[in-house]
Amino acid sequence: MPVRLAVILVDRFADWEHGFLTAPVRDFFQGEVRFQTPGGRTVTSEGGMRALADGAIETLTPSDFDALAVIGSSAWFGGDAPDITALVQAADRAGRVVGFICGATLAAARAGLLDARAHTSNDAATLSKAAAYRGAAHYCDVRRAVRDGNLISAPGFAPRSFAYEMVAALYPAESTNLGYLKAELTAEDFA
């Protein structure tokens, strides 16, 4: 059975943060990639690209996916961000791979997923914008993705290491293909 990756996009999503992940899952590993948006509506990226949804965030459950990637957007900083707390908590409890990049790390902070695990974001100040954030002691000030068990977090300028950590969590036995993906990374992506 192919791995099922659900990707959450909201308006003003960061165009550059999902491609290094979704393309290998779909192309190299023949996985299933589905894009979920608020209400199943079309959303527009920071760069103006319109994305058609495969489904609504509101109907998504952990039984629908093996991994969940929440893509960054300036919307995560404001009051118009969807509340995905119940979904990401349920996915985490079910042992699904859950990844957050850039501003989406605020959704992880609001859900309490960063309280006791190593994580990162654009910077520590980003996460302080989430009133519920209690994980400052576990914050890693690095320029790459951080993986702690099934939880992956990354700053917005590290989409390649985010993709690598997500793919490594999903396909740990695929060393040849993972080696190819890692070969695409630079030392700066892991500094």
- The answer to whether residue 134 scores a pLDDT higher than 90 is yes
Contact 10/70 with Cβ under 8 angstroms?
no
- The answer to whether residue 168 scores a pLDDT higher than 60 is yes
* Strand 50-51, strand 43-44: pairing: antiparallel
pLDDT, the chain, mean: 92
> With a threshold of 0.85, does the pTM exceed it?
yes
Q: What is the pLDDT of residues 91-106, one digit of tens each?
A: 999 999 999 999 999 9
What residue has token string 């699904």?
A: 96
Of these ranges, 64-68, 77-81, 174-178, the one predicted with the greatest mean pLDDT is: 64-68
- DSSP string for residues in 89-147: HHHHHTT-EEEEEGGGHHHHHHTTTTSSS-B--S-HHHHHTSTT---GGGB---SS-EE
Nearest to 164 by CA among 120, 99, 117: 99
What tokens were used for 73?
């957007």
Q: Mean pLDDT throughout 121-137?
A: 93
Q: Which fold has domain 4-190?
A: Rossmann fold (3.40.50)
Q: What is the pLDDT of residues 67-82, one digit of tens each?
A: 999 999 999 998 889 9
